[in-house]
Each structure stands twice: as C-alpha cells, then as structure tokens.
Amino acid sequence: MQHKDINEDIRWAQINKDVLRSMENPRKAYWISVGICLALLSLAVIAEIYQYNVGLGPTNLNWPHMWGLYIATFIFWIGMSHSGTLLSAILHIIHADWRKPIYRFAEAMTTFTLMTAGLFPIIHLGRVWNMYWVLPYYSDRGIWPNFRSPLVWDAFAISTYLTSSALFLFIGMIPDLAICRDNTRGWKKKLYTVLSLGWRGDDRQWRNFRKTYLIMACFLIPLAVSVHSIVSSDFAMSIMPGWHVTTFPPYFVAGALYSGCAGIITLFILLRYFFRFEQYMTLPILEKTCKLTFAIAMVWTYLNLIEYSSVWYGHDTVAKELLIDKFTGPYSPYFWAMNILGSVLPFTLAFEKLRRHIPTMFAVSILLNVGMWLERWMIVSPTLAMSYEPFTHTVMWASWVQWFIVIGSFGWFGLLFLVFVKIFPSVSMYEVKEMIFHRRHLANKDIAAVMHRRSSDPQPSEGH
C-alpha cells in the first residue's frame, strides 16, 4: 500500500515530461467528456434562447416562487469555487505541502465555477439586456444602483473574487508557463511566451514571485469567506422565514467548502484518469482530501443542526412551521435526501478502505455534491412555498427550461475546465519539484530547522 504522498525518487525531467505529455495525448475518455459537456451546454443554449424570447414563463417560476433552480444553482456554483481557494491559499499559508500536485486544477475550478455561477443571476433576470444596470457606472442622469441591495453586493463580491482568483491562478502558473514556452512550438509557444511574462527563473524573479503569491493568498482568503457570506445575505438580509437566519454566513461558507472539496475529489479522480497522473495525484493525497472533506462535512452538519434547533426552540412560529413542513411537506423527500447525503454519507470518508477505493470515492463525491445542490434548493424553494401569507402557499416544480439551463451549466463548467487542463499544465510542475525536493532531503530531519530556512529557496544543484 502506498503511504508516501508522492514518489520522492521521480526525476524532475520526468515531471516536466509527464505534465507536458498530459497536454498532448489524453485518454479517449477526455474527448468523450468534452463531447458530453458540449451536448449539455447546447441544451442550456436552446433553453436560454427560448427563455430570452418568450420570457420567464416557461420556466414554471411563478407568483410566490419568483426564484427557483437558477438561484439555487448559482449558490451551488459559488460554493464550489471556495475549495480552490482553500487548497491554493489557505493550505499554502499553513504549509500543507500535499496540496501541491492538486492545487492548480482546484484553483482553475475556482475560476471556472465562478464564471459559471456568475451567469445564473444574469440568466434569471427578467430583462437580461439591462443586466449592467446593477453596476455603478457614471450616468449623466445621476442614476445609481441601490447600494442597500444584497444583489448589488453580490455583483461586487463575485466580480472581485473572479478577478482575484483568476489572477491568482495566473500568477501561480507563471513558472510553469515558462517551462511550456521552452518545450512547445507554433501558436502554443507564442501563447506561452506572452503569458509567461518573460520568466527566466532568476533569483529576483523568484523572490518577487513568492512575495506576490503570498500576498495574493492572504488577500484571497478573507475574500473567499466574505463572498459566500455576502451571497448568504441574499437570504439572510431578507425578512422571509427560513431565510433571515443569523448563522447563514458561516453555514454558507461551510457548505461551500464542503461541496468544493467534494468537487475536488471528483475532478481529482477524473484528471488522474484522463492524463495518467497516477504518479502525482496519488491515493494518499486523495485520502488527505477526503479527510479534509469529512472534517468540513461535520462542521456543516453541526451548523445545520444549530439552524434547526435554533428555529425549533425559537419563537418564530412561521419559521418553525416552515421547518416542520420541510421535514414533512411536499419537499420532504428532497429535504431528507439532502440531510442523508450531506450528513450521513460523508461517514464513508472515515474508512480507509473506502477512501482508497477510487470508484467509490468518485460516486460518493458526486453524491455529496448532489446533496449540497439539494441543500441550496431546499433553502430557496420551501421558503417561497410557505412563507407568511397562507393564501400564497404553493409548490413549484421546475420545468425543462430550468433543468436544461441547470444541467447545461455543468456542461459549460466542464468545457471550460477541460479546455483549461488541456492547454495549461494542470499539475504545478515547479511546486511538485519543490515538494519532492523537500520531502527527499528534509522529511526525516528536524522540520523546525528547515522551516527556519526560506523553504521556497530553490536549490541550484538541480535546474529545470
């Protein structure tokens, strides 16, 4: 059984070769996946064109249910984005070096899930063509957006987060892009030449690079936490039962990290297979990710129970009736499914045997995300179905238009992601080298002494 996170004897040139090869000849499954994503995306395009022309009527959204799957899926995707930051920024700061082979695609996931999530508030608008009105741009009539509205905060938060995480992804890639530049030809070489910003790997560049990367990481962490807190304000700032919940910001952040980690497991397994990354995306790393997911799942479960009990023991009868209805009403199958998938299923991650069984983990990770998607839906819809005015209590089931767009968003995300991992190195070459170096030379010695040194200083003895 493999116990080491990575084969410490691997040659650096081999790393370069393996990663660069991944960008040339993936398995056939890669292309099948691209095809599936394209098909899913085209469903969404069809639905969106229809919806754009006719209006929001065919979605089955209705008079109490002004929001539906779009907003639920929006939160889901925003949530997915958080784990990229967790892996790349938080684990970077706390020096958890096992993240190194997998943080790149996680960070890419962050960027692309944000790009997917950001579409949903736009798609759900009644008048999409006026979407830019939520941005504060100079208008000679003195018209500004309403800064009190959480939706405007969303616009700021998401655009900031997207910019920052994209920048973070890009900065972290610069040394690898230089490797690509040096090993490719044709249009790719031109692309990498431009993107690598003249990286030569000299000492000053490395020092500045390290500083910048660290600063970005520090900047990104509070940003990530705030983004999902702000998204939770869409609900927490409202007056509706089941929405105006004080614990929503941490609850949302926990849920976000949870679904993000599950998403990382899924993509981990896919990439390992597509690009034959068994050497880098190893089972011990998968195990560590699973443990992390399990911990976060427990935090989420705890916050979930807090929410139930604070409603149960509170005096807000309407919210309490809503909670009872969630457990027993028309949405209860989904509500129970969410609780089982979100709080019970993660216990599979506690068993080493299961953790090391890749097909199981693949299924579990997807099911966990199904649970987390249900969670978002169970936040949005039951409240709309059963709020203060009894006369408006109705249940809404989404139509094919909503489903197509929701499903298509997975195609859109998948396509962006797959194109990215094909064009850019999805395993950070220079950081894997660092990892191997440190492990090989320092693992058995006194870590404290190592930490005293600048751990990021490259070793001149082995170049790349």
Partner 1 sequence: MSLQNILQDWSKYRKGNEEGGFHDYEHLWGLAIDLNKCIGCNACSVACYAENNLAVVGKDKFAKHQEMHWLRVERYWDEPDLGEQAVSDYQSHGASFLPMMCQQCMAATCEPVCPVAATYHTPDGLNAQVYNRCIGSRYCSNNCPYRLRYFNFYSYYEDSWPAPLNMQLNPDLTVRDKGVMEKCTFCVQRIRAAKDVAKHEHRELQDGEFTTACAQTCPTQAIVFGDLLSLHTAGKAESTLSTLWRDQQVELGRTEQHKQNPDKRGYRVLEGLNTDPKVMYLERVREV
Partner 2 sequence: MALDKIKRRDFLKIMGWGGAGATLAGCDMPTTVTLEEGKEEVVSYLVPEEYVIPGIGVWYASTCQQCAAGCGVHGRVREGRVLKLEGNPESAVNSGALCQMGQSALQTHYNPDRIQQPLLRSGGALKKVSWDEALAQLQQKAGGRSAWVTGTISGHQAVLLDAYVKATQARHYPVEVVGSPVWNRVCQDMLGDANPRLRIDEADLIVSFGADFLGTWNSPVHFSRQYARFRQGPKRGMLIQIEPAMTLTGANADLWLAIRPGTEGVFALGVANVLVDRYQTSIAGLPADAQKAIRLYTPDHVKDITGVSVDQLMKVAELLKKRGNSLVLAGSTAEGHSYGYQSVASIMLLNILLGNVGKTLQANVHAPAQLAPRVGNTANLVAFAEAAAAGNIDVAFFYGSNPLYLAPQSLGLKGKLDKVGFKVALSSFMDETTAQADLVLPLASALEDWGSHVGAYQNGELQVSIQQPLMEKLYPETRGFGDVMLGLLKQRQVREFALYEDYYAYLRNAVAAMPAALNKAGGNAWNNALQHGVVALNAGSGALRPRAVSLPQPEMAAGDDGYPYHLVPSARLGLWDGRHANIPWLQEAPDQITKVVWDSWVELHPTTAAKLGVARGDTVKIASKAGAIEAKVYVYKGIHPDAIGVPLGQGHDEYGRYAKGRGVNPLSILNDTKDQTTGELALHATRVQLSRTAGKPGDKLVLMGGSESQLGRKMVATVKAEVFARSEGDA
Q: Closer to partner 2 at the Cβ: 241 or 425?
A: 241
Asked whether position 187 contacts partner 1 by CB under 8 A, the answer is no
How far is the C-alpha of 284 from the C-alpha of 434, rounded, in Å?
A: 18
How far is the C-alpha of 78 from the C-alpha of 158, rounded, in Å?
A: 8
How far is the C-alpha of 245 from the C-alpha of 236, rounded, in Å?
A: 5
Asked whether position 389 contacts partner 2 by CB under 8 A, the answer is yes
Q: Closer to partner 1 at the Cβ: 54 or 451?
A: 54
Conformation bin of residue 27: beta by default, left when phi > 0, alpha when psi is -120 to 50: beta
Q: Closer to partner 2 at the Cβ: 286 or 322?
A: 322
Residues 311-340 that bind partner 2 (CB under 8 A): 317-318, 321
Asked whether position 238 contacts partner 1 by CB under 8 A, the answer is yes
Q: Which two tokens stand for residue 322?
A: 């809503």
Asked whether position 126 contacts partner 1 by CB under 8 A, the answer is yes
Cβ at position 141, least distance to partner 2 in Å: 15
Segment contacting partner 2 by CB under 8 A, of 121-129, 186-194, 197-205, 382-390? 382-390
CB 189 within 8 A of CB 148: no
Asked whether position 160 contacts partner 1 by CB under 8 A, the answer is no
User: Out of 86, 396, 401, 415, which residue is the one contacting partner 1 (CB under 8 A)?
Assistant: 396
How far is the C-alpha of 348 from the C-alpha of 294, rounded, in Å?
A: 9
Cβ at position 65, least distance to partner 2 in Å: 11
Give which of 302, 299, 226, 231 is closest to 261, Cα–Cα. Answer: 299
**Kindly report the CA angle at 370 between 366 and 374, in degrees rounded to 5?**
170
Asked whether position 96 contacts partner 1 by CB under 8 A, the answer is no
Asked whether position 390 contacts partner 2 by CB under 8 A, the answer is yes
CB 432 within 8 A of CB 139: no
State the binding partner of 62 from partner 1, partner 2, none, CB within 5 to 8 A by kind. Answer: partner 1
Cβ at position 400, least distance to partner 1 in Å: 14
Give Cβ neighbours of residue 146 (< 8 Å, ≥ 6 apart): 152
Asked whether position 133 contacts partner 1 by CB under 8 A, the answer is yes
| Site mask for partner 2 (CB under 8 A), range 37-66, x = bound | ---------------------------x--
Give which of 178, 180, 200, 197 is closest to 188, Cα–Cα. Answer: 180
Q: Closer to partner 2 at the Cβ: 63 or 129?
A: 63
State the binding partner of 420 from partner 2, partner 1, none, CB within 5 to 8 A by kind. Answer: none
Q: What's the one-letter identity of residue 14? A: Q
State the binding partner of 321 from partner 2, partner 1, none, CB within 5 to 8 A by kind. Answer: partner 2
Give Cα 348 distance to the centre of its chain: 22
User: Out of 266, 289, 387, 426, which residue is the one contacting partner 1 (CB under 8 A)?
Assistant: 387
CB 437 within 8 A of CB 60: no
Cβ at position 374, least distance to partner 1 in Å: 20
CB 175 within 8 A of CB 213: no
Q: What's the one-letter identity of residue 225? A: V
Residue 457 DSSP label: P
Give Cα 142 distance to the centre of its chain: 37
Q: Which residues bind partner 1 (CB under 8 A)?
A: 54-57, 60-67, 121, 124-128, 130-131, 133-134, 142-146, 148-152, 155, 234, 237-240, 384, 387-392, 394, 396
Q: Which residues bind partner 2 (CB under 8 A)?
A: 64, 317-318, 321, 388-394
